[in-house]
Amino acid sequence: MRVILIVLYLLVYFTLSLITLPLLFCLGKINPSAKDKISQVTVRNAFRTILFLAGTKITVRHKENVPDEPVLFVGNHSSYFDIITTYSILNRQVGYVAKIEMEKTPLLSSWMRNIGCVFLNRQDVKEGLKAIIQGASFIKEGRSMFIFPEGTRNHSKTLLPFKEGSTKMAEKAGCKIVPVAITNTDAIFENNKWYNKIRKASVTIEFGSPIEPKSLEKEQKKFLGAYVQSQIEAMLQARS
């Protein structure tokens, strides 16, 4: 039943997008800031509606660790719902680093661009660097970015190695990194038999202490991705 309700909601949402997206495009030519704010509120409310229909309860821990400035959020990744849950609780401008394949999805990719997502081609170093530079410029302009450095959804309790390039965005933008430990999002959908059910689940999102890359020791700077991963692993282990 939950799946049906969410699918129906998404059908209505994307049908209305055929009207709202062109209007937002025109608004962006006149007032880019208004377009950004409307897009953020629209997507955030859509995600909150999906979570309500899914029966998802979110517990947020240590949100006070998030500085009142643009940052790079770095989190573990086990579910499609990682983006939905984190975006729904972050009341700020924040875009996500998405795989390049998402750019080909009609309507969805338009909304992603509207909220400041960048599309990363991991197979092409040159194109990947462009995405990192674009994300860094967004941070400098005042928008936080969120990246999942494992590169794919991981259902194991052991994190996959973080891509070292995942932190380059923070280094280029000169911003802090906030580690994010996300627990139990895969219980909403991915862990359910046949992938045809959405179940009620309790999700925990914990924000770690912000990391200032330039203040780290030489070895930590050299392997910054691994260092951030260790911070997230420590948070996850503390709750297991």
Tell me the per-residue pLDDT of 10-54, one tens digit each, with 9 for 90 and over: 999 999 999 999 999 999 999 999 999 999 999 999 999 999 999
Owning domain of residue 68: 57-239
The amino acid occupying position 66 is: V
The sign of the dihedral angle between the CA atoms of 222, 225, 229, 232 is positive
The answer to whether position 48 is within a domain reads no
Low-confidence ranges of the chain (pLDDT < 70): 193-196, 240
The pLDDT value recorded for residue 148 is 94
Instruction: Give the HSE-up count for residue 151: Cα atoms under 13 Å, Cβ half-sphere.
Output: 12
The pLDDT value recorded for residue 162 is 87
pLDDT 10s digits, 66-85: 999 999 999 999 899 999 99
Report how many domains make up the chain.
1
Sort 91 into a burial class: Cβ within 10 Å, 0-12 / 13-18 / 19+. Answer: exposed
The pLDDT value recorded for residue 138 is 96
Distance CA 75, CA 54 (A): 22
The pLDDT value recorded for residue 194 is 61
CATH number at residue 200: 3.40.1130.10
The pLDDT value recorded for residue 81 is 96
The answer to whether position 91 is within a domain reads yes
The answer to whether position 206 is within a domain reads yes
The pLDDT value recorded for residue 83 is 96
The answer to whether position 63 is within a domain reads yes
Alpha carbon distances (Å) from 19 to 9, 11, 24, 48: 16, 13, 9, 21
φ/ψ of 197, rounded to 5, equals -135, 145
Coil, helix or strand at residue 204:
strand
The pLDDT value recorded for residue 196 is 65
pTM: 0.93
How does DSSP assign 118-170, residue by residue?
Answer: EEE-TT-HHHHHHHHHHHHHHHHHT-EEEE-TTSS---SSSPPPPPGGGGHHH
The answer to whether position 81 is within a domain reads yes
Distance CA 100, CA 102 (A): 5
The answer to whether position 158 is within a domain reads yes
Note the residue count of the chain.
240
The pLDDT value recorded for residue 218 is 84
The pLDDT value recorded for residue 151 is 77
Give the contacts of 116 (CB within 8 A, at least 6 positions apart).
36, 93, 94, 95, 138, 143, 145
The answer to whether position 155 is within a domain reads yes
The answer to whether position 4 is within a domain reads no
Listed residue (220, 222, 211, 236) closest to 74, CA to CA: 211
